[in-house]
Structure 1
Amino acid sequence: MFGCLVAGRPLQTNLQQVDETHALFELPMASAINHICVFLLGTVPFPDGYGATVHFYWPGKGFQLLGMLSNEKPSAIFRLRGTFSAVSSNDTLFAGSPASGGGPALTALLGLSIEPLPEILNEMTTLPSAISRAAPVASDATLMAERVVKHLFNYVSSFVSGGQTLTPDTQVPMALIAKWYETFMSKVQNTGLGFLENRE
């Protein structure tokens, strides 16, 4: 029913069933994972009124809610690096899941929990990106503008090569700024403004 794709790795369909409503993907060498895509394979839809919450388990830190899937939203991409918070979701959801070892070859878990959509939508309101979407941007326009400019500056700086630094005299091609704008707007539409709070 589900597929999992870690950027730069083969597609995973080796889902491990925990019980009737819970399943897991094992993610070996988890410390090297930046982004992950989870999706419905298209073979079996959710029953009417149901969807799945997606959780990430980092050994020693518990499960953290990442987002959701439904028949209307059959896929999602999540950024894992630098986004794990100290607050975990319900660790008892996936009771009986295999233990994950530590070290460089650390294995993390991606958990899927099939639940009624009203419960899922209620859980989604607790995500930082949902809180950011709900908060009026105008409440602190200066802080928001600073975060947007910092995001642009960091993006442009990543293209400066060698030992050079970005100075007021550095010329930046308009195509680079246009690419940043497209990427930025796509992130805002897909995840809200929560990503601006990440310290990179």
Structure 2
Amino acid sequence: MLGIIVSGRLVQTDFQQISENQFLINVPDADNVNHIVIFLTGTVPLPEGMGGAVYFSWPDTNAPPNWQFLGYISNNKPSAIFRISDLKKNHEFENANLGIFGAKISHSAQIGISVEPLSAIEPLSALVASTTTESHVKFAQKMIINFMNYVSSFSVTQSQMTPNPTENFVPLSSVQGWYETFERRLQQNPNFWKQL
């Protein structure tokens, strides 16, 4: 009924059914996985009006599983690609100096599928998309503020400038104007930069 694809690996369809509507699969060596594809195999469709909520859990020996909602699949949307590289924790070795005989540690993550009404899943998916957009907006804002601070640190008045006929100068007011325009456009449409 369900399958998973990890780039460079064979298709996995060995989901374990852990309850009437929940399925689980392990993803070995998840440290080297950036994206996964979850799909319906087509052998058994989901019940009408139902979807498969897809969750990701990165192993943490000091805590119970922390399931993070990725999105969903349904009969009308039988496959989806999810980026998990941002969700993985950067585990640090307790003994960072392993020497030449240090063994590489590999972690297995888990993917859970919960069959639920689409009316319950779709709002979660919209929330994930909204959170991602907010994250992009915050990144863009911090980036342009950092750029403005960097450029401003080189500002000098015209009387302080050393004449150099081979050097081009941009007035700080022009950069400030760009910053204000970019900020305004970002507030109006967080994805405007995709059309640039």
User: Which range, TM-score by smaller chain?
Assistant: 0.5 to 0.7
RMSD: 2.9
Q: Deviations over 1:59-115 (max 9, x none)?
A: 126111111001111000111112458xxxxxxxxxxxxxxxxx7221110000000
Post-superposition CA distance 1:171-195 (Å, at most 9, x none): xxxxxxxxxxxxxxxxxxxxx96xx
Give the Cα separation in 2 of the matches to 1:35 and 1:132.
16
What displacement does 1:145 show? 10
- Residue pair 1:64, 1:84 contacting (<8 A) in 2 also: no
Are residues 1:65 and 2:95 paired?
no
Asked if the contact 2:52–2:113 (Cα under 8 Å) also holds between the matched residues in 1, the reply is: yes
Q: Is the Cα–Cα contact under 8 Å of residues 31 and 88 in structure 2 kept in the other structure?
A: no
TM, length-normalised to structure 2: 0.57
Asked whether 1:110 is paired with 2:115, we answer no
Kept after mapping to 2: 8 A contact 1:27/1:107: yes
1:108-147 → structure 2 map (5 Å cutoff) = 108-127=109-128, 129-131=129-131, 143=141
Q: Which amino acid aligns with 1:113?
A: S
Aligned counterparts of 1:37 and 1:144: Cα–Cα separation in 2: 32
* Alignment check: 8 A CA contact 1:2 1:15 kept: yes
TM-score normalised to structure 1 length: 0.56
**Which one has the largest radius of gyration?**
2
Equivalent-residue separation in structure 1 for 2:71 and 2:40 (angstroms): 14
Q: CA–CA distance in 2 between the matches of 1:30 and 1:12?
A: 14
Question: Contact conserved, 1:51 with 1:68, CA < 8 A, in 2?
Answer: yes
Q: Aligned with 1:14: secondary structure? A: coil
Tell me whether 1:9 sits opposite 2:9 in the alignment. Answer: yes
Q: What does residue 40 of structure 1 align with?
A: 40
Identity %: 38
Which blocks of at least 5 consecutive residues in structure 1 are unaligned? 86-102, 147-191
Name 2:174's counterpart in structure 1.
none
Give matches, 1:163-182, under 5 Å.
none
